[in-house]
Structure 1
Amino acid sequence: MSDQKKTTVMEAPQNSVRPHQPGEDVFTAVLPEDVNWKSFAAFPPSVLLATVVGHPSQPGPYTIRVRAPHGVKLMPHRHPEDRVYTVISGVFYIGLGDRFDSNKLQAYPPGSVLILPGNTPHFHWAKSSEYVTQVTAIGPLGLEYINPKDDPRNNKS
Protein backbone atom coordinates (compact mmCIF):
# COMPACT_ATOMS: atom_id res chain seq x y z
CA MET A 1 0.00 0.00 0.00
CA SER A 2 1.35 3.42 -0.93
CA ASP A 3 2.26 6.02 1.70
CA GLN A 4 1.67 8.76 -0.86
CA LYS A 5 -1.25 11.08 -0.21
CA LYS A 6 -4.08 11.41 -2.68
CA THR A 7 -6.34 14.40 -3.05
CA THR A 8 -9.78 13.51 -1.78
CA VAL A 9 -13.02 14.89 -0.40
CA MET A 10 -11.79 17.39 2.18
CA GLU A 11 -8.97 18.83 0.10
CA ALA A 12 -10.81 19.92 -3.05
CA PRO A 13 -11.71 23.61 -2.61
CA GLN A 14 -15.31 24.69 -3.05
CA ASN A 15 -16.48 28.07 -4.27
CA SER A 16 -18.48 30.52 -2.21
CA VAL A 17 -20.78 30.72 -5.25
CA ARG A 18 -22.37 27.28 -5.35
CA PRO A 19 -21.28 25.56 -8.58
CA HIS A 20 -23.84 23.91 -10.81
CA GLN A 21 -24.42 20.29 -9.85
CA PRO A 22 -24.70 17.55 -12.47
CA GLY A 23 -28.32 16.50 -12.91
CA GLU A 24 -29.78 19.86 -11.87
CA ASP A 25 -32.61 20.86 -14.17
CA VAL A 26 -31.72 24.54 -14.29
CA PHE A 27 -29.76 26.74 -16.68
CA THR A 28 -26.56 27.99 -15.06
CA ALA A 29 -23.93 30.43 -16.31
CA VAL A 30 -20.55 30.88 -14.67
CA LEU A 31 -19.12 34.29 -15.48
CA PRO A 32 -15.41 35.07 -15.16
CA GLU A 33 -16.05 37.16 -12.05
CA ASP A 34 -17.83 34.19 -10.44
CA VAL A 35 -14.73 31.99 -10.63
CA ASN A 36 -13.39 31.74 -7.09
CA TRP A 37 -9.68 30.89 -7.10
CA LYS A 38 -8.25 29.12 -4.05
CA SER A 39 -5.03 27.45 -3.06
CA PHE A 40 -4.98 23.68 -3.28
CA ALA A 41 -2.88 21.61 -0.86
CA ALA A 42 -1.56 19.30 -3.59
CA PHE A 43 -0.17 22.22 -5.65
CA PRO A 44 2.65 24.67 -4.98
CA PRO A 45 1.20 27.67 -3.06
CA SER A 46 1.16 30.00 -6.09
CA VAL A 47 -0.95 27.62 -8.20
CA LEU A 48 -4.69 28.16 -7.77
CA LEU A 49 -7.74 25.99 -8.43
CA ALA A 50 -11.40 26.91 -8.92
CA THR A 51 -14.38 24.56 -8.96
CA VAL A 52 -16.73 25.44 -11.83
CA VAL A 53 -19.12 22.46 -11.91
CA GLY A 54 -19.79 19.68 -9.43
CA HIS A 55 -17.82 18.54 -6.42
CA PRO A 56 -14.40 17.21 -7.50
CA SER A 57 -14.03 15.25 -4.27
CA GLN A 58 -17.17 13.21 -4.89
CA PRO A 59 -18.15 10.61 -7.49
CA GLY A 60 -19.60 12.28 -10.57
CA PRO A 61 -18.72 14.81 -13.26
CA TYR A 62 -16.76 17.92 -12.35
CA THR A 63 -15.05 20.85 -14.02
CA ILE A 64 -12.19 22.77 -12.43
CA ARG A 65 -9.82 25.47 -13.59
CA VAL A 66 -6.13 25.60 -12.73
CA ARG A 67 -4.07 28.81 -12.85
CA ALA A 68 -0.28 28.50 -12.73
CA PRO A 69 1.92 31.62 -12.72
CA HIS A 70 4.91 31.98 -15.02
CA GLY A 71 7.83 29.74 -14.08
CA VAL A 72 5.98 27.24 -11.89
CA LYS A 73 6.57 23.53 -12.45
CA LEU A 74 4.21 20.75 -11.40
CA MET A 75 6.45 17.74 -10.96
CA PRO A 76 5.54 14.28 -12.29
CA HIS A 77 2.22 13.04 -10.96
CA ARG A 78 -0.82 11.08 -12.03
CA HIS A 79 -4.58 11.14 -11.58
CA PRO A 80 -6.71 7.99 -11.38
CA GLU A 81 -9.44 9.58 -13.50
CA ASP A 82 -9.40 10.26 -17.25
CA ARG A 83 -9.18 14.02 -17.82
CA VAL A 84 -10.02 16.45 -20.61
CA TYR A 85 -7.92 19.63 -20.50
CA THR A 86 -8.90 22.79 -22.38
CA VAL A 87 -6.34 25.58 -22.52
CA ILE A 88 -8.15 28.81 -21.63
CA SER A 89 -5.20 31.23 -21.68
CA GLY A 90 -1.43 31.22 -21.91
CA VAL A 91 0.59 28.36 -23.32
CA PHE A 92 0.20 25.04 -21.51
CA TYR A 93 3.36 22.91 -21.48
CA ILE A 94 2.83 19.24 -20.61
CA GLY A 95 5.15 16.26 -20.83
CA LEU A 96 4.53 12.56 -20.31
CA GLY A 97 6.69 10.38 -18.10
CA ASP A 98 7.67 9.75 -14.51
CA ARG A 99 10.67 12.15 -14.56
CA PHE A 100 10.59 15.86 -15.36
CA ASP A 101 12.29 16.21 -18.75
CA SER A 102 12.00 19.57 -20.49
CA ASN A 103 12.76 17.85 -23.82
CA LYS A 104 9.46 15.96 -23.53
CA LEU A 105 7.34 19.09 -23.07
CA GLN A 106 4.79 19.93 -25.74
CA ALA A 107 3.34 23.44 -26.00
CA TYR A 108 -0.41 23.91 -26.44
CA PRO A 109 -1.95 27.33 -27.18
CA PRO A 110 -5.34 28.62 -26.00
CA GLY A 111 -8.22 26.60 -27.44
CA SER A 112 -6.28 23.33 -27.43
CA VAL A 113 -8.03 20.26 -26.02
CA LEU A 114 -5.98 17.40 -24.54
CA ILE A 115 -7.25 14.01 -23.40
CA LEU A 116 -5.15 12.42 -20.65
CA PRO A 117 -5.97 8.81 -19.73
CA GLY A 118 -6.13 8.01 -16.03
CA ASN A 119 -2.90 6.97 -14.29
CA THR A 120 -0.70 8.53 -16.99
CA PRO A 121 2.41 10.05 -15.35
CA HIS A 122 2.85 13.64 -16.55
CA PHE A 123 4.24 17.05 -15.59
CA HIS A 124 3.53 20.71 -16.37
CA TRP A 125 5.55 23.89 -16.66
CA ALA A 126 4.31 27.46 -16.99
CA LYS A 127 7.39 27.99 -19.13
CA SER A 128 6.56 31.11 -21.13
CA SER A 129 3.75 32.74 -19.14
CA GLU A 130 0.91 32.13 -16.73
CA TYR A 131 -1.58 29.57 -18.02
CA VAL A 132 -5.16 28.69 -17.17
CA THR A 133 -6.55 25.27 -18.03
CA GLN A 134 -10.02 23.88 -17.56
CA VAL A 135 -10.21 20.22 -16.57
CA THR A 136 -13.32 18.07 -16.92
CA ALA A 137 -13.46 14.57 -15.46
CA ILE A 138 -15.49 12.09 -13.45
CA GLY A 139 -14.62 12.28 -9.75
CA PRO A 140 -13.44 11.84 -7.26
CA LEU A 141 -10.38 13.87 -8.17
CA GLY A 142 -7.12 12.20 -7.25
CA LEU A 143 -3.53 13.36 -7.47
CA GLU A 144 -0.47 11.29 -6.61
CA TYR A 145 3.08 12.52 -7.11
CA ILE A 146 5.52 9.96 -8.52
CA ASN A 147 8.15 11.11 -6.01
CA PRO A 148 6.60 11.81 -2.57
CA LYS A 149 9.27 14.51 -2.00
CA ASP A 150 7.62 16.57 -4.78
CA ASP A 151 4.24 16.56 -3.02
CA PRO A 152 3.62 19.92 -1.27
CA ARG A 153 1.38 18.09 1.23
CA ASN A 154 4.50 16.29 2.51
CA ASN A 155 6.44 19.52 3.01
CA LYS A 156 4.19 21.12 5.63
CA SER A 157 6.07 22.33 8.69
Structure 2
Amino acid sequence: MIALHHITRPLALSLAVAALVSSLPSLPAMAADTAPDQIMINSGDLKWENAPPSMPKGAKVAVLSGDPSKAGPIVVRLKLPAGYKVPPHWHTQTENLTVISGTLYMGIGDKMDTAHAHALKAGGFHVLPGKTHHYAFTKSPTVVQNNGEGPLDIVYINPADDPQKSAAQ
Protein backbone atom coordinates (compact mmCIF):
# COMPACT_ATOMS: atom_id res chain seq x y z
CA MET A 1 0.00 0.00 0.00
CA ILE A 2 1.26 3.47 -0.87
CA ALA A 3 1.39 6.05 1.89
CA LEU A 4 -0.75 9.07 0.99
CA HIS A 5 2.03 11.56 1.57
CA HIS A 6 4.22 9.73 -1.01
CA ILE A 7 1.70 10.02 -3.91
CA THR A 8 3.11 12.26 -6.57
CA ARG A 9 0.96 14.45 -8.77
CA PRO A 10 1.56 12.28 -11.91
CA LEU A 11 0.67 9.14 -9.93
CA ALA A 12 -2.50 10.74 -8.57
CA LEU A 13 -3.49 11.81 -12.09
CA SER A 14 -2.84 8.28 -13.41
CA LEU A 15 -5.00 6.77 -10.65
CA ALA A 16 -7.83 9.21 -11.39
CA VAL A 17 -7.69 8.48 -15.13
CA ALA A 18 -7.65 4.73 -14.45
CA ALA A 19 -10.70 5.03 -12.18
CA LEU A 20 -12.55 7.07 -14.81
CA VAL A 21 -11.70 4.71 -17.67
CA SER A 22 -12.70 1.66 -15.65
CA SER A 23 -16.16 3.21 -14.98
CA LEU A 24 -16.87 4.10 -18.65
CA PRO A 25 -18.47 0.76 -19.61
CA SER A 26 -21.20 1.31 -16.99
CA LEU A 27 -22.08 4.87 -18.10
CA PRO A 28 -24.31 3.97 -21.10
CA ALA A 29 -26.30 1.53 -18.97
CA MET A 30 -26.79 4.14 -16.25
CA ALA A 31 -27.84 6.76 -18.82
CA ALA A 32 -30.36 4.40 -20.41
CA ASP A 33 -31.90 3.62 -17.03
CA THR A 34 -32.31 7.26 -16.02
CA ALA A 35 -33.15 8.96 -19.36
CA PRO A 36 -36.60 10.58 -19.16
CA ASP A 37 -39.21 10.04 -21.84
CA GLN A 38 -38.86 12.81 -24.38
CA ILE A 39 -41.76 14.65 -25.96
CA MET A 40 -41.32 17.02 -28.87
CA ILE A 41 -44.43 18.67 -30.28
CA ASN A 42 -44.64 21.57 -32.68
CA SER A 43 -47.62 23.88 -32.20
CA GLY A 44 -49.13 22.76 -35.53
CA ASP A 45 -49.18 19.16 -34.30
CA LEU A 46 -51.19 19.80 -31.13
CA LYS A 47 -54.39 17.78 -30.87
CA TRP A 48 -57.07 20.22 -29.72
CA GLU A 49 -60.23 18.77 -28.20
CA ASN A 50 -63.25 20.32 -26.54
CA ALA A 51 -62.49 21.31 -22.96
CA PRO A 52 -64.07 19.08 -20.30
CA PRO A 53 -67.73 19.71 -19.43
CA SER A 54 -66.64 21.36 -16.17
CA MET A 55 -65.55 24.39 -18.23
CA PRO A 56 -67.84 26.80 -20.08
CA LYS A 57 -68.43 25.76 -23.71
CA GLY A 58 -66.16 27.12 -26.40
CA ALA A 59 -62.72 26.34 -24.95
CA LYS A 60 -60.37 23.79 -26.51
CA VAL A 61 -57.68 21.85 -24.66
CA ALA A 62 -54.46 20.14 -25.73
CA VAL A 63 -52.65 17.89 -23.25
CA LEU A 64 -48.91 18.13 -23.88
CA SER A 65 -47.72 15.94 -21.01
CA GLY A 66 -49.19 13.88 -18.20
CA ASP A 67 -52.79 12.98 -17.45
CA PRO A 68 -54.84 15.86 -15.99
CA SER A 69 -57.22 13.37 -14.33
CA LYS A 70 -54.44 11.73 -12.30
CA ALA A 71 -51.88 12.79 -9.71
CA GLY A 72 -48.56 13.86 -11.21
CA PRO A 73 -47.02 16.60 -13.32
CA ILE A 74 -49.08 17.93 -16.24
CA VAL A 75 -48.70 20.44 -19.06
CA VAL A 76 -51.98 21.53 -20.63
CA ARG A 77 -52.84 24.29 -23.11
CA LEU A 78 -56.21 26.00 -23.26
CA LYS A 79 -57.43 27.80 -26.37
CA LEU A 80 -60.06 30.35 -25.39
CA PRO A 81 -62.24 32.25 -27.88
CA ALA A 82 -62.85 36.00 -27.74
CA GLY A 83 -65.37 36.91 -25.06
CA TYR A 84 -64.80 33.71 -23.06
CA LYS A 85 -65.54 33.88 -19.33
CA VAL A 86 -64.74 31.50 -16.49
CA PRO A 87 -66.82 32.52 -13.45
CA PRO A 88 -65.20 32.73 -10.01
CA HIS A 89 -63.74 29.36 -9.03
CA TRP A 90 -60.73 27.65 -7.46
CA HIS A 91 -58.50 24.63 -8.08
CA THR A 92 -57.08 22.19 -5.54
CA GLN A 93 -53.57 22.34 -7.06
CA THR A 94 -51.32 25.31 -7.76
CA GLU A 95 -51.27 26.43 -11.39
CA ASN A 96 -48.31 27.94 -13.18
CA LEU A 97 -49.89 29.84 -16.07
CA THR A 98 -48.09 31.22 -19.12
CA VAL A 99 -49.93 33.17 -21.80
CA ILE A 100 -48.82 31.84 -25.18
CA SER A 101 -50.88 34.26 -27.32
CA GLY A 102 -53.55 36.88 -26.80
CA THR A 103 -54.36 38.36 -23.39
CA LEU A 104 -55.85 36.60 -20.37
CA TYR A 105 -57.64 38.82 -17.88
CA MET A 106 -57.60 37.49 -14.33
CA GLY A 107 -58.96 38.70 -11.06
CA ILE A 108 -58.98 37.45 -7.49
CA GLY A 109 -62.20 37.11 -5.52
CA ASP A 110 -65.65 35.61 -5.36
CA LYS A 111 -67.28 38.01 -7.87
CA MET A 112 -66.25 38.72 -11.45
CA ASP A 113 -65.10 42.33 -11.56
CA THR A 114 -63.88 43.02 -15.09
CA ALA A 115 -62.84 46.58 -14.17
CA HIS A 116 -60.23 45.30 -11.69
CA ALA A 117 -58.87 42.30 -13.59
CA HIS A 118 -55.18 42.12 -14.43
CA ALA A 119 -54.26 41.80 -18.13
CA LEU A 120 -51.69 39.06 -18.67
CA LYS A 121 -50.30 39.49 -22.20
CA ALA A 122 -48.47 36.98 -24.42
CA GLY A 123 -45.36 35.81 -22.56
CA GLY A 124 -46.88 36.76 -19.21
CA PHE A 125 -46.65 34.35 -16.28
CA HIS A 126 -48.76 33.88 -13.16
CA VAL A 127 -48.49 31.49 -10.21
CA LEU A 128 -51.91 30.76 -8.82
CA PRO A 129 -51.74 28.93 -5.47
CA GLY A 130 -54.26 26.15 -4.95
CA LYS A 131 -57.63 27.13 -3.44
CA THR A 132 -57.24 30.79 -4.53
CA HIS A 133 -60.65 32.17 -5.56
CA HIS A 134 -60.30 33.76 -9.00
CA TYR A 135 -61.97 34.36 -12.36
CA ALA A 136 -60.74 34.78 -15.91
CA PHE A 137 -61.94 36.14 -19.24
CA THR A 138 -60.72 37.08 -22.71
CA LYS A 139 -61.47 39.88 -25.14
CA SER A 140 -59.64 38.25 -28.06
CA PRO A 141 -58.64 34.64 -28.85
CA THR A 142 -56.11 33.54 -26.24
CA VAL A 143 -53.95 30.47 -25.61
CA VAL A 144 -52.75 29.73 -22.07
CA GLN A 145 -50.44 26.97 -20.83
CA ASN A 146 -50.77 25.45 -17.37
CA ASN A 147 -47.76 23.65 -15.93
CA GLY A 148 -48.89 22.06 -12.73
CA GLU A 149 -49.89 18.94 -10.88
CA GLY A 150 -52.88 16.74 -11.49
CA PRO A 151 -55.54 15.97 -10.89
CA LEU A 152 -56.77 19.20 -12.46
CA ASP A 153 -60.13 20.26 -11.07
CA ILE A 154 -62.37 23.32 -11.00
CA VAL A 155 -64.74 24.21 -8.17
CA TYR A 156 -67.11 27.10 -8.82
CA ILE A 157 -67.80 29.55 -5.98
CA ASN A 158 -71.45 29.72 -7.05
CA PRO A 159 -72.59 26.16 -7.82
CA ALA A 160 -75.06 27.56 -10.39
CA ASP A 161 -72.03 28.64 -12.50
CA ASP A 162 -70.91 25.02 -12.95
CA PRO A 163 -71.73 24.12 -16.58
CA GLN A 164 -72.20 20.47 -15.60
CA LYS A 165 -74.93 21.36 -13.12
CA SER A 166 -76.68 23.87 -15.38
CA ALA A 167 -76.63 21.34 -18.27
CA ALA A 168 -78.26 18.69 -16.07
CA GLN A 169 -81.23 20.96 -15.22
Q: Do they superpose with TM above 0.5?
A: yes
Q: How does 1:46-61 map to 2 (within 5 A)?
A: 46-61=58-73
User: For residues 112 and 83 of structure 2, what CA distance do their matches in structure 1 show?
Assistant: 14
Q: How does 1:5-16 map to 2 (within 5 A)?
A: none
Match of 1:68 in 2: 80
Shift of 1:70: 0.5
Q: 1:59 to 1:24 in 2, by over 3 A?
A: farther
Give the counterpart of 1:42 among 24, 47, 54.
54
Shift of 1:57: 0.7
Match of 1:109 in 2: 121
Higher RCO (C-alpha 8 Å, min separation 6): 1
User: For residues 137 and 26 of structure 1, what CA distance do their matches in structure 2 show?
Assistant: 18
Q: Does 1:142 align with 2:138?
A: no
So what's the TM-score if we normalise by structure 1?
A: 0.81
So what's the TM-score if we normalise by structure 2?
A: 0.75
Q: Give the % identical residues.
A: 35
More helix by share: 2
1:4-57, Cα deviation, whole Å (9 max, x unpaired): xxxxxxxxxxxxxxxxxxx97233201112211111211122111111110011
Match of 1:154 in 2: 165
Listed as ranges, the gaps of 5+ residues in structure 1 are 1-22
